[in-house]
Amino acid sequence: QVTLRESGPALVKPTETLTLTCTFSGFSLSTSGMCVSWIRQPPGKALDWLARIDWDDDKYYNTSLKTRLTISKDTSKNQVVLTMTNMDPVDTATYYCARTALTGLYYYFDYWGQGTLVTVSS
């Protein structure tokens, strides 16, 4: 059974750095083809993909946010960590981690965590 769970602060101040951890089970990020992504959703708005890390440690970022994001993994702990610098109130959102599966050449988000709401306010 695949599960993912996000953890991190519920409240951060403007200009601070956000660190979120995704802890997963039911699959291994050392398995070829396995990836984990971070996606966020501001209240009442659409989904916004942030970053992806692959089994071979390749990393991909939203081009608009690339300078602020860092994604990393700890395979032994089954964890993926996302950091986002210089937080702003517009970054207030529910942050999800999702397993990113690969079938042939096609990637898709097949399992999602429940999400964690991060509010940016002074």
Partner 1 sequence: DNQMTQSPSSLSASVGDRVTITCRTSQSIGTYLNWYQQKPGKPPKLLIYAASNLQSGVPSRFSGSGSGTDFTLTISSLQPEDFATYYCQQSYRALYTFGQGTKLEIK
| Interface positions with partner 1 (CB under 8 A) | 37, 46-49, 52, 60, 62-64, 96, 98, 103-110, 112-115
What element of type H or E holds 32?
none
Q: 3-state SS string over 39-65?
A: EEECCCCCCEEEEEEECCCCEEECCCC
45 to each of 38, 94, 95, how far by Cα in Å?
A: 16, 10, 13
In the complex, minimum distance from the CB of residue 20 to partner 1, in angstroms, rounded to a whole number: 15
In the complex, minimum distance from the CB of residue 51 to partner 1, in angstroms, rounded to a whole number: 9
| C-alpha closest to that of 2 among 120, 110, 115, 94 | 110
Rounded distance, CA 83 to CA 108, Å? Answer: 23
Looking at beta carbons only, is 31 or 63 nearer to partner 1?
Answer: 63
In the complex, minimum distance from the CB of residue 62 to partner 1, in angstroms, rounded to a whole number: 8
Looking at beta carbons only, is 10 or 46 nearer to partner 1?
Answer: 46
Looking at beta carbons only, is 86 or 114 nearer to partner 1?
Answer: 114
In the complex, minimum distance from the CB of residue 26 to partner 1, in angstroms, rounded to a whole number: 15
